[in-house]
Amino acid sequence: MNIELATDMELVRSIITTPKLYEAVSGKEIPVAEFKVDLEYQYLIFKQDDKVLGCLQIKPLTKLVLDVHIFILPENWGTGIVKEIAHEGHKYIKELGYTKTFTRVPSNCMHVLHCLQKIGYTSCGMIEKGIVFNKTLVTLFLFEREL
């Protein structure tokens, strides 16, 4: 598996706005035509045999903790590749000097909650009524993972 720091934001946009993926992660709050890549983050592109598998959105939260969000292309869902991507991504992040990753997930985003459990994240808090996702005000769960 290859990991590249993205320089092509159109590639990142095409990954995130893949219809099935975008529907799952956008919360139906922003139409695809209005979606803009968040340039406060960097993006790691994951490839296997030159085939793009997905990307990891990263941004320092502190000098030790990296805020991360994973986007796996739908054709790779259910293949177990998320574990490999998480392993390789966490190894890459650790080499950058970080000791922990952090992410947040709406409570009604069950597929992501299930995925985080598979790749070793643990709950570290929640914010009740912390986000509108799928047009519903829900709890925002906070997760962390030691590297």
Residue ranges covered by each domain of the chain: 2-146
pLDDT digits (tens, 9 = 90+) for 71-125: 999 999 989 899 999 999 999 999 999 999 999 999 999 989 999 999 999 999 9
Q: Do residues 46 and 1 lie in contact, with contact meaning Cβ atoms separated by under 8 Å?
A: yes
pLDDT higher than threshold 90 for residue 14 = yes
pLDDT for 121? 97
Q: Is 26 exposed, middle or buried (0-12, 13-18, 19+ CB in 10 A)?
A: middle
pLDDT for 111? 87
Strand pairing partners for 104?
Answer: 142
CA-wise closest residue to 13 among 49, 48, 57, 51:
57
Tokens of 70: 């994973």
Q: What CATH number was assigned to the domain covering residues 2-146?
A: 3.40.630.30
